[in-house]
C-alpha cells in the first residue's frame, strides 16, 4: 500500500458541463474565461501534466504526450456546491438537491436560531459574504446581532466580528444551528468570523464548516474501516462531518495548505492525504477577483515541482476540483462545470483518462490504488494509469 494525495483546487472548473444551462451557468469556464480575461496564464507544470487538454486555456500549451494522466470529471449529483462535489468524488452521489433559500430563511428557522443563539439576527438574505459584512458590519458592532445570510448553495452562514462574538461562542451557535439545519435539509452551516473596522473588515481563516452527515459510507469511511490512514488538510474533515477523517490539519489559505501538505506527507508512510486548497474559491472566485485568482493558480503551479521531488516509489497524486467558480461572470456563486483531472507521480503513467461521467470514478480509483474494498459507485481507471 502506497500513498495517494488528492489535491482539490476548490472552484477551479474547466467548463463544458452538459447541464450547465439548467443551473444558469451556460458558458461558464473558470480556467478558460479567466485565461482569456487575463491575457493568458503561466502554468507550465500543469501544462506538462495535460491541463491544456481539458479546455482552451490561453497561455497553457497542450503537449501531444503529457507527462501525467489527464481527463475531466462530469458531476452526476444534483447541485454545484462544496459538499456535493467532495461527497461525489468520495463515492456518494446526491440525487436530490439540498435546500436553498433565495429569499432568506423562514421564521421556523430564524425564530429557533435566535432562541438558541441568545442573540438577534440581521440580514437574512442571499448575499456575497464580503459585501454583507461591509453593509451590516458597523450595525453588528453596535448591536451584537448576528449577520445571517445564504447564497445560491445550500448554506446557512453566520458572520460575526471576533471582538463582539468570541470564536468559541460563534462555533457553539453554529453547532446549535446544525441541529436546526438538519430538519430543513441544509447542507452546511458556516461560521464566518471577521475582524477590522468599518470600511476595512476582513474575514479570517477561523471559518468553520458544520456539514450534514453523509447519508452513506464514503471513501473516507471505507479506508478508515480498512485501517488505511486518512489525513484531511483544510476543510476536508468538516465537509464529511468528521466521519472517516481521524486526523484533520487546519490551514490558513493556499500557501499554508501547501506547507501543511508537505509536512503531512513527510510523516506519512501510507494511506490517503486529502487536501482542499480553498483560496481559489473563497478569496478569489466569490469576489470575482480575476488577477488574484490567476496569481493563486500560478503559485500553485510553481509549488508542484517541490511536491513531485518529495514523492516516493508508488505514490500517486490526483489534482481535481469540486465545482467551478468562474470569476468572470456577473454573479459571485459557484458555477456548474466539468472539473480537470490530472494524475502524476512514480505510481502513475501518462494516459488519456477521458471525460468521466461521475466524480465517483476518482474515489473508486483511489480505493483500488490503496487496495481497499470497492465503493458503491464509480468506475475505477486505476488499471489505465498505474505505472
Measured CA to CA, the distance from residue 212 to residue 241 in angstroms comes to 7
Q: What is the pLDDT of residues 111-129, one digit of tens each?
A: 999 999 999 999 999 998 9
Q: What is the pLDDT of residues 354-373, one digit of tens each?
A: 999 999 999 999 999 999 99
Query: Are 218 and 335 part of one and the same domain?
Result: yes
What is the reported pLDDT for 314? Answer: 96
Query: Are 230 and 366 part of one and the same domain?
Result: yes
Please report whether residue 102 resides in a domain: no
Measured CA to CA, the distance from residue 142 to residue 180 in angstroms comes to 27
Give the predicted TM-score (pTM) of the model.
0.93
Q: What is the pLDDT of residues 266-283, one digit of tens each?
A: 999 999 999 999 999 999
Confidence bin at 97 (pLDDT 50/70/90): confident
Gyration radius (Cα) of the chain, Å: 20
The mean pLDDT of 73-79, rounded to a whole number, is: 96
The mean pLDDT of 259-267, rounded to a whole number, is: 97
What is the reported pLDDT for 153? Answer: 87
What is the reported pLDDT for 96? Answer: 87
**How many domains are there within the chain?**
2
Domain assignment of residue 359, given as a range: 3-96+214-385
The H or E element spanning position 243 is: none
pLDDT at 319 over 80: yes
Q: Which of 182, 211, 240 is the last residue of a domain?
A: 211
Q: Which of 211, 243, 264 is the last residue of a domain?
A: 211
CB 112 within 8 A of CB 167: no
> What is the number of alpha carbons within 13 Å of residue 384 lying toward its C-beta?
16
pLDDT at 294 over 90: yes
- Degrees, nearest 5: CA angle 144-146-147: 125
Confidence bin at 152 (pLDDT 50/70/90): confident
CA 321 to chain CA mean position, Å: 7
Query: Are 359 and 279 part of one and the same domain?
Result: yes
Query: Are 193 and 321 part of one and the same domain?
Result: no
Q: What is the pLDDT of residues 5-15, one digit of tens each?
A: 999 999 999 99
Please report whether residue 163 resides in a domain: yes
The mean pLDDT of 136-143, rounded to a whole number, is: 98
CA nearest neighbour of 231 among 8, 9, 5: 5
What is the reported pLDDT for 258? Answer: 98
Query: Are 274 and 377 part of one and the same domain?
Result: yes
Query: Are 222 and 364 part of one and the same domain?
Result: yes
Counting DSSP H helices and E strands in the chain, the numbers are 13, 14
Query: Are 311 and 359 part of one and the same domain?
Result: yes
Query: Are 170 and 71 part of one and the same domain?
Result: no
Q: Domain of 56: which CATH number?
A: 3.40.720.10
Cβ atoms < 10 Å from Cβ of 183: 10
Please report whether residue 256 resides in a domain: yes
What is the reported pLDDT for 211? Answer: 94
Q: Which of 189, 211, 233 is the last residue of a domain?
A: 211
Query: Are 275 and 302 part of one and the same domain?
Result: yes
The mean pLDDT of 28-55, rounded to a whole number, is: 98
Please report whether residue 89 resides in a domain: yes
The mean pLDDT of 295-320, rounded to a whole number, is: 98
Measured CA to CA, the distance from residue 363 to residue 219 in angstroms comes to 6
Query: Are 247 and 354 part of one and the same domain?
Result: yes
- Helix/strand/coil for 232: strand
Q: Domain of 123: which CATH number?
A: 3.30.70.1250
pLDDT at 1 over 80: no
- How far CA 343 is from CA of 48, 131, 320, in Å, comes to 11, 37, 9
Q: What is the pLDDT of residues 337-346, one digit of tens each?
A: 999 999 999 9
Confidence bin at 304 (pLDDT 50/70/90): very high
Query: Are 207 and 111 part of one and the same domain?
Result: yes
pLDDT at 29 over 90: yes
Confidence bin at 246 (pLDDT 50/70/90): very high
Bridge partners, residue 333, by sequence:
none
Query: Are 381 and 253 part of one and the same domain?
Result: yes
CB 332 within 8 A of CB 19: no
Amino acid at each position: 500500500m502506497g500513498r495517494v494525495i488528492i489535491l482539490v483546487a476548490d472552484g477551479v472548473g474547466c467548463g463544458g458541463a452538459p447541464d450547465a444551462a439548467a443551473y444558469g451557468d451556460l458558458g461558464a469556464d473558470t480556467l478558460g474565461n479567466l485565461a482569456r480575461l487575463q491575457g493568458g496564464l503561466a502554468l507550465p507544470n500543469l501544462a506538462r501534466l495535460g491541463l491544456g487538454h481539458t479546455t482552451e486555456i490561453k497561455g497553457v500549451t497542450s503537449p501531444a504526450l503529457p507527462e501525467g494522466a489527464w481527463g475531466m470529471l462530469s458531476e452526476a449529483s444534483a447541485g454545484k456546491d462544496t459538499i456535493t462535489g467532495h461527497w461525489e468524488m468520495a463515492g456518494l452521489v446526491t440525487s436530490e438537491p439540498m435546500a436553498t433559500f433565495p429569499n432568506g430563511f423562514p421564521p421556523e428557522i430564524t425564530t429557533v436560531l435566535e432562541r438558541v443563539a441568545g442573540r438577534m439576527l440581521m440580514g437574512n438574505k442571499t448575499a456575497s459574504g464580503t459585501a454583507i459584512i461591509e453593509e451590516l458590519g458597523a450595525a453588528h458592532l453596535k448591536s451584537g446581532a448576528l449577520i445571517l445570510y445564504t447564497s445560491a448553495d445550500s448554506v446557512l452562514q453566520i458572520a460575526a466580528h471576533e471582538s463582539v462574538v468570541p470564536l468559541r461562542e460563534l462555533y457553539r451557535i453554529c453547532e446549535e444551528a446544525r441541529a436546526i439545519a438538519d430538519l430543513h435539509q441544509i447542507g452546511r452551516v458556516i461560521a464566518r468570523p471577521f475582524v477590522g473596522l468599518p470600511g476595512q473588515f476582513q474575514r479570517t481563516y477561523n471559518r468553520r464548516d458544520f456539514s450534514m452527515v453523509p447519508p452513506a459510507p464514503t471513501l473516507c469511511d471505507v479506508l478508515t474501516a480498512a485501517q488505511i490512514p486518512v489525513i484531511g488538510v483544510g476543510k476536508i474533515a468538516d465537509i464529511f462531518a468528521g466521519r472517516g477523517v481521524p486526523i484533520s490539519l487546519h490551514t490558513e489559505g493556499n500557501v499554508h495548505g501547501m506547507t501543511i501538505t508537505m509536512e503531512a506527507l513527510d510523516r506519512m508512510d501510507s494511506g490517503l492525504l486529502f487536501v482542499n486548497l480553498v483560496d481559489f474559491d473563497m478569496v478569489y472566485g466569490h469576489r470575482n477577483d480575476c488577477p488574484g485568482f490567476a496569481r493563486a493558480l500560478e503559485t500553485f503551479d510553481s509549488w508542484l515541482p517541490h511536491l513531485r521531488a518529495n514523492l516516493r516509489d508508488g505514490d500517486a497524486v490526483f489534482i481535481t476540483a469540486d465545482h467551478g467558480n468562474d470569476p468572470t461572470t456577473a454573479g459571485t456563486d459557484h458555477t456548474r462545470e466539468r472539473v480537470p483531472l490530472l494524475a502524476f507521480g512514480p505510481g502513475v503513467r501518462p494516459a488519456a483518462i477521458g471525460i468521466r461521467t461521475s466524480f465517483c470514478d476518482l474515489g473508486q480509483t483511489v480505493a483500488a490504488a490503496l487496495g481497499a474494498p470497492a465503493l458503491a459507485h464509480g468506475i475505477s481507471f486505476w488499471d489505465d494509469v498505474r505505472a
